[in-house]
Structure 1
């Protein structure tokens, strides 16, 4: 049976929905930051502050749930073969990048939950500091890799995760 030429529609939808939600929370943490600042200074957050913090938290929880679903779909579905038009070491870099990306996609919401709902300050430090920075770096590498695949190696990697 020939290998699939593109990711399935559920795989692509999960990928892009998660990307949007992750970018939303990475780019707009202000509601959570304002809530944290008020709590830290002994002030009472307003209902609007709590709602803003909750939006950030709920988006993070959605990312966590979608990541679980995405892994289930990934392990139960075929995926396209890796491109043959690049050096072998790049396959290893891509694999490590994807594993690290998944680990961070789980670490971010879990550390956020530990901070917001359980009050674990060390998790909050990790969430807003090293995990967030690492996630940004790996996301940029992921995007860069997709663009290099598309424009330099002229592979269909980007196409099969977009239009199929």
Structure 2
């Protein structure tokens, strides 16, 4: 049985966390591009270049998510701590799989919006999906802190030092 996440799993977790936070926090260039493009105007080369950064980071997240999911299936994951109530174990599983779903759906919606001009994909990507990603991040961090400080489990350690 796996007692901790592997080094590649931990590295991918933190790289993806940084890339996702980057795109969530620094999305102004893509939002500007979207307003201009979907408003029927032609974006400037500077707007396109700035929007490309957001797009490339999102594509990197998608590629890393494929690698991460493969590692999850081949290397496994540690079991849920016994201190965690059964209901919250289910909530945690749903949250983790919701993350994985967003790791794939969000970049594809972004691709649909940016590269194919799909307005519905743009709305979904920048609206409900972005909001759900923020909610999952907050819940994920809160859950890790509850595990560490309240239940005194090794959940945080398993994703940091192993």
Superposition TM-score tier, normalisation by shorter sequence: over 0.9
Question: How many residues matched?
Answer: 162
What is the CA distance between 1:43 and its match in structure 2? 3.4
2:38·2:119 contact (CA, 8 Å) conserved in 1? no
2:5 corresponds to: 7
Distance 1:89 1:41 in 2: 46
TM-score normalised by length of structure 1 = 0.94
Deviations 1:17-60 (A, max 9, x none): 00000000000101111212222344332222111100000000
Provide the residue aligned with 1:32 in structure 2: 30
The alpha carbon displacement at 1:107 in A equals: 1.4
How far residue 163 of structure 1 moved from its aligned partner, in angstroms, is 1.1
Q: What residue number does 1:19 align with?
A: 17
Residues 1:71 and 2:35 are matched in the alignment: no
Q: Distance in 1 between matches of 2:84 and 2:68?
A: 27
CA RMSD of aligned residues (A): 1.2
Does structure 1 conserve the Cα–Cα contact (< 8 Å) formed by 2:110 and 2:125?
yes
Give me the TM-score of the superposition, normalised by structure 2: 0.95
- SS of the residue corresponding to residue 82 of structure 1 reads coil
2:160 maps to what in 1?
A: 162
